[in-house]
Chain A
C-alpha cells in the first residue's frame, strides 16, 4: 500500500483514547506536573528577579565597576594616581578629596561633607551615566565658588519642598580650624546611587571643584580616596593585588565589584537551593507518572498482546505509551506555564521598597517546562519499555 508506518496523528489519537479512559489518574498527573512547573518556575523566577534587583541595587550603591583605595594618614597624591592608572586592566583613576564642615541656613546649622571630584568623574561618582540624570536644576558642574548641592541640603525630606535654590548663598565653616567661606549654589542634584549612595542616608553633600577645594580648603593636594575604574571585571582579583602593591602603605582596598560578585554567587546558590526544593515536586510527579504507567501496562497487558498480534511492533508500543506520558506532561506543562505567567503579572513580593515579581527569562521558562517534561517522559520509559518487550503470547494469556 506504500504507507507502512503508523502516522503521528494516529499515535496521538490512540494514546489520547487511553488517557481519556483513565482520566482520573491522568488528571492527577496533569495537576502534579502543573504544580511542579509552577514551583520550579517560581523558585527560578523569584531568584532571578531577586538577583537582578539586589545586584542592581548593590551596583547602584557601590559603584560596582570600581575599586576604592583608602590610604592611611598620608592620603593619595597625584603621583599615586598616575601609578594606579598604569596597572593593566584599569580604565581610569580619580581622586576624591573631602572635608567636614557646617552650613548656616534659615533652619539653623547643619553638618555637611564637602566633596571635591573632577567634574569629568562626577557622573561616575554619583552612579549615573550622564550628569543630567542627577541634575534637578542649574549647572552640571561646580566652578570656582559655585557648588552643586545634594538633595539632603536643598530639599525638605518630609515635604519635598525646596529649602535652597540655584542662586542661594551658602555660608560655611570648614575643617578643624573652622575656616569661614561662602559658596554660591549653581546646581541642585537629585538623590542617586554611586559612592555616596544608598537609600535612607542623609545626603548633606556639597560638590566643589578640586581646584577650589585645594585653593581654599586644603592646601596640600592629597585625596581622601582614590577610585579605580576597572575595565575588565574578570581581572578584578589580579588588579586588586597590583593596586595593593603600588598604593601608599597602610591603604585599605575595597572592591564593591567583588562584594557584588560574592553576593551574586550567594543568590545563585540560594536560587539553586530553592530550585532543588521545588524539584522534589517534579520528582514526585515523575514517580506518579511511573506508577500510573506501570499500572496501565499491567491493566492493558491483553491489549498489548492483541496489538502485537495485529502487527504493532515493539517500537509502536513504546511510542504509544511514551506518548501518553508526553501528552499528560505537556498538558501539565501548558497549564502550569499559563498559571506561571498569570502569577508573574499579579503576584509580587515587597523587597527594598520594590514589588518583586518572578522574572521569567527564556532560560527559566525552558528549564521550568522542559525539566518536568523530560523527567516525566524518562519516568514513563521503564514501564513503556516493559510494555514494548512483552511476549505477545504471554500477554494474551495474562489473567
Chain B
C-alpha cells in the first residue's frame, strides 16, 4: 500500500457459485487509490467493474484478497453490524437507477442514511436540506421522486449519498439513464464534490466521455484489471485507437 493510498485493493478475487457452476467475476485485482482522487473504472459489460465497486463499498465480500479503506480492512468485516456501519459512515453510493424510495419525499429520501445513524430529526432535516442545496435542489424538498426529472432524481440520489459526509463516493454508471446535457450536469457536480470537498470518487462507467472528469482510469476486462492510466495517457490511447480504425 502506498503511503497516501486511501483505498488499497490487494489481490482481490470474487468467485460466485460452487464446483459445478463457477463464475470468476473479479480475478486477482490490485489497485491503490489516493485520498481525494477521482478514478473511473471502465470496461465492457461483465468485466467485473460493478462487482469490484460493490466489494469496495462493502455490499459484497471478496472471496480472496483484501480491501483496505481509510486504514480499515473491510474484507475482514464479517459482522453485519460492522459492515452496515462501514457503508453508512465511510461510503456513499450513487446508482444508475437512482433507487429513490417512491413513497418518501425528496427530503425524506435524503434523510435515510441519517436515520440509521440515529441523528435527531431536526438536525437530520437541516443536514438533508444542506445536501439538497449542494446538488442544486433547494425548494424541491417536499416533492416526491415521481414529480422530478431523471436528472433531478439522480441529484437527489447524490444528495442522499453525500448527506452523511462520507469519505468515499462510489458511483455505478451514474449517468447511464440520463441524456447528455443532464449527464454533464451530474459530472460537474461530481467534479465539484471532488475538488471542493476533497471527496474520493470511484466511478464505474461505459461512457468514455466521462473519463475527462477523472484523474485516472482503471481498465478492466474479463474480471482482470488490465492497467491503470492517467487521464491523458488514456486519451492518447483512445485517439490512437480511433486513428488506427480510420486508416
Complex Cα gap A19–B140 (Å):
24
Q: Is there an interface contact between B116 and A1, defined as CB atoms closer than 8 Å?
A: no
Complex Cα gap A276–B177 (Å):
56
Residue of A14, A302, A311 touching B88 (CB-CB under 8 A): A311
* B119 touches A (CB below 8 Å): yes
* B13 touches A (CB below 8 Å): no
Chain A residues whose CB sits within 8 angstroms of the CB of B80 once the complex forms: 313-315
Q: Is there an interface contact between A20 and B103, defined as CB atoms closer than 8 Å?
A: yes
Complex Cα gap A206–B207 (Å):
112
* B87 touches A (CB below 8 Å): yes
* B104 touches A (CB below 8 Å): yes
Residue of A20, A21, A311, A392 touching B116 (CB-CB under 8 A): A311
Chain B residues whose CB sits within 8 angstroms of the CB of A363 once the complex forms: none
Give A1-50 interface residues, CB cut-off 8 Å to B: 1, 3-7, 10, 14, 17-18, 20-21
Q: Is there an interface contact between B117 and A4, defined as CB atoms closer than 8 Å?
A: yes
Among B38-46, B52-60, B194-202, B237-245, the one that faces the other chain is B52-60
* B139 touches A (CB below 8 Å): no
Q: Is there an interface contact between B103 and A311, defined as CB atoms closer than 8 Å?
A: no
Q: Is there an interface contact between B112 and A310, defined as CB atoms closer than 8 Å?
A: yes
Residue of B81, B87, B104, B119 touching A1 (CB-CB under 8 A): B119
Chain A residues whose CB sits within 8 angstroms of the CB of B54 once the complex forms: 393
* A305 touches B (CB below 8 Å): yes
* B95-116 vs A, Cβ < 8 Å mask (1 yes, 0 no): 1010101011000100011011
Given contacts A6-B116, A7-B118, A396-B95, contact A309 B87 (CB under 8 A): yes
Shortest CB-to-CB span from B235 to chain A, Å, is 32
Chain B residues whose CB sits within 8 angstroms of the CB of A310 once the complex forms: 87-88, 93, 112-113, 116, 160
Residue of B59, B84, B85, B119 touching A3 (CB-CB under 8 A): B119
Chain B residues whose CB sits within 8 angstroms of the CB of A5 once the complex forms: 118
* B89 touches A (CB below 8 Å): yes
Complex Cα gap A302–B96 (Å):
13
B interface bracket (residues with beta carbon within 8 Å of A):
20 to 34
Given contacts A305-B99, A396-B95, contact A311 B89 (CB under 8 A): yes
Chain A residues whose CB sits within 8 angstroms of the CB of B71 once the complex forms: none
With CB as the reference atom, state the residue of chain A lying closest to B111: A10
Complex Cα gap A306–B59 (Å):
10
* B120 touches A (CB below 8 Å): yes
Complex Cα gap A128–B107 (Å):
73
Residue of A14, A17, A20, A312 touching B84 (CB-CB under 8 A): A312
* A316 touches B (CB below 8 Å): yes
* A308 touches B (CB below 8 Å): yes
* A303 touches B (CB below 8 Å): yes
* A170 touches B (CB below 8 Å): no
Give A95-136 interface residues, CB cut-off 8 Å to B: none
Q: Is there an interface contact between A10 and B115, defined as CB atoms closer than 8 Å?
A: yes
Give A171-197 interface residues, CB cut-off 8 Å to B: none
Complex Cα gap A361–B93 (Å):
55
With CB as the reference atom, state the residue of chain A lying closest to B166: A311
Chain B residues whose CB sits within 8 angstroms of the CB of A306 once the complex forms: 93, 95, 99, 101
With CB as the reference atom, state the residue of chain B lying closest to A310: B113
Give B55-102 interface residues, CB cut-off 8 Å to A: 57, 59-60, 80-81, 84-85, 87-89, 93, 95, 97, 99, 101
With CB as the reference atom, state the residue of chain B lying closest to A7: B118
With CB as the reference atom, state the residue of chain B lying closest to A5: B118
Chain A residues whose CB sits within 8 angstroms of the CB of B84 once the complex forms: 308, 311-314, 316
Given contacts A309-B93, A310-B113, contact A396 B99 (CB under 8 A): yes
* A307 touches B (CB below 8 Å): yes
Given contacts A306-B99, A310-B88, A311-B87, contact A3 B118 (CB under 8 A): yes
Q: Is there an interface contact between B60 and A393, defined as CB atoms closer than 8 Å?
A: yes
Residue of A4, A20, A303 touching B101 (CB-CB under 8 A): A303
Chain A residues whose CB sits within 8 angstroms of the CB of B113 once the complex forms: 310-311
Q: Is there an interface contact between B117 and A308, defined as CB atoms closer than 8 Å?
A: no
With CB as the reference atom, state the residue of chain A lying closest to B84: A313
Residue of A17, A309, A315 touching B104 (CB-CB under 8 A): A17
Q: Is there an interface contact between B118 and A4, defined as CB atoms closer than 8 Å?
A: yes
Chain B residues whose CB sits within 8 angstroms of the CB of A313 once the complex forms: 80-81, 84, 116
Given contacts A1-B119, A3-B117, A311-B116, contact A302 B99 (CB under 8 A): yes
8 residue pairs from A and B, CB less than 8 Å apart: A3-B118, A7-B120, A10-B115, A21-B103, A308-B87, A311-B84, A311-B88, A393-B54
Having A18-B103, A307-B112, A309-B57, one finds 10 other A-B pairs with CB under 8 Å, namely: A1-B117, A6-B115, A10-B121, A303-B99, A306-B99, A308-B84, A309-B59, A311-B116, A313-B84, A391-B60
Give me the 6 closest cross-chain CB pairs, A-B, nearest first: A311-B88, A3-B118, A313-B84, A306-B99, A21-B103, A311-B87
